[in-house]
Amino acid sequence: MITYIGIALIVLIMISGFRIAQEYERAIIFRLGRFSSIKGPGLYWIIPFIDWQRKVDNRTRTVDLEQQETITKDSVTIKVNAVLWYKVKDTSKAILQVANYDRAVYQFAVTSLRNIIGQHILDEVLKERSQINDTMRKLVDEATEPWGIEIEMVEMKDVEIPESLQRAMAREAEAIREKRARIIKAEAELEASEKLSISAKQINENPFALELRRMQMLSEIGAENNTTTVIMMPAEFTTFAKSVSEYLNKK
């Protein structure tokens, strides 16, 4: 009877050594305190009371970096936050090389965010986000590689600037728009003056064109239903006055 009980206990102990790891999990096996192997996914067996395990999730993780108050290169105080995506590539390094890889990655990313913002002026932070994101990703990835961590992506979410600076930027944008409008207006006036100069030259060369213009003007005035009085002066009079003026200038 005792023999059967002993056999049953041994069988139960052996069965208790079976473990299951999901497809996205890996198990680090320690035997008497020393690293032994990596198991999973699926069914595997460890020696009861001798081996113990620690599972690691190899899926991509998303971490929100809390809002950081930092100073840009041009001495502007801003608040910025970001999102970090990373995953465990080497399970053994993630457990053996760092005590808590989640916290280590988070703290280094937060520090890197402040440092990188301090190396750029405000305009670069606002306009060159993709470049800053890529720089930060490479920086954090290089630091976390010995821990078996791969940084997949970093994205800045919000950049909060002081209200007084927002008003100044709004005034600057308004001034730029006004400048652009004045330039467009000046270019339009220049183009119109060039067209008028060409028209005046053509009319001077062909007085009959002036008569056509007068007839068109009368048609436009009549269409407006107004009481404007128009005194027509024959083109010949204008030509005669011009001839007289030229004659007097010669004398």
Cβ atoms 50, 32 nearer than 8 A? yes
Residue ranges, comma separated, of all CATH 3.30.479.30 domains in the chain are 61-166
pLDDT score for 183: 86
pLDDT score for 6: 79
What's the rounded Cα separation, in Å, for the pair 19 and 40? Answer: 9
What is the CATH number that goes with domain 61-166?
3.30.479.30
pLDDT score for 43: 93
Residue 94 Cα distances to 66, 83, 88, 154, angstroms: 23, 21, 7, 20
Q: Is the pLDDT of residue 159 over 70?
A: yes
pLDDT score for 25: 93
What's the rounded Cα separation, in Å, for the pair 49 and 31? Answer: 9
pLDDT score for 75: 84
Residue with structure tokens 């064109």? 209
Residue % of the chain over a pLDDT of 90: 39
Q: Is the pLDDT of residue 175 over 80?
A: no
Q: Which residue has the higher pLDDT, 223 or 106?
A: 106
Residue 180 is encoded by which pair of tokens?
């652009």
**Mean pLDDT value across residues 211-240:** 58
Global confidence as pTM? 0.65
pLDDT score for 238: 57
pLDDT score for 204: 65
pLDDT score for 242: 59
Cβ atoms 125, 60 nearer than 8 A? no
Q: Give pLDDT tens digits for 206-217.
A: 665 656 666 666
pLDDT score for 90: 92
What's the rounded Cα separation, in Å, for the pair 148 and 141? Answer: 10
Stretch among 23-32, 66-75, 103-112, 229-238 having the lowest mean pLDDT: 229-238
Q: Is the pLDDT of residue 144 over 60?
A: yes
Q: Is the pLDDT of residue 235 over 60?
A: no
Q: Is the pLDDT of residue 241 over 60?
A: no
pLDDT score for 172: 73
Cβ atoms 23, 38 nearer than 8 A? no
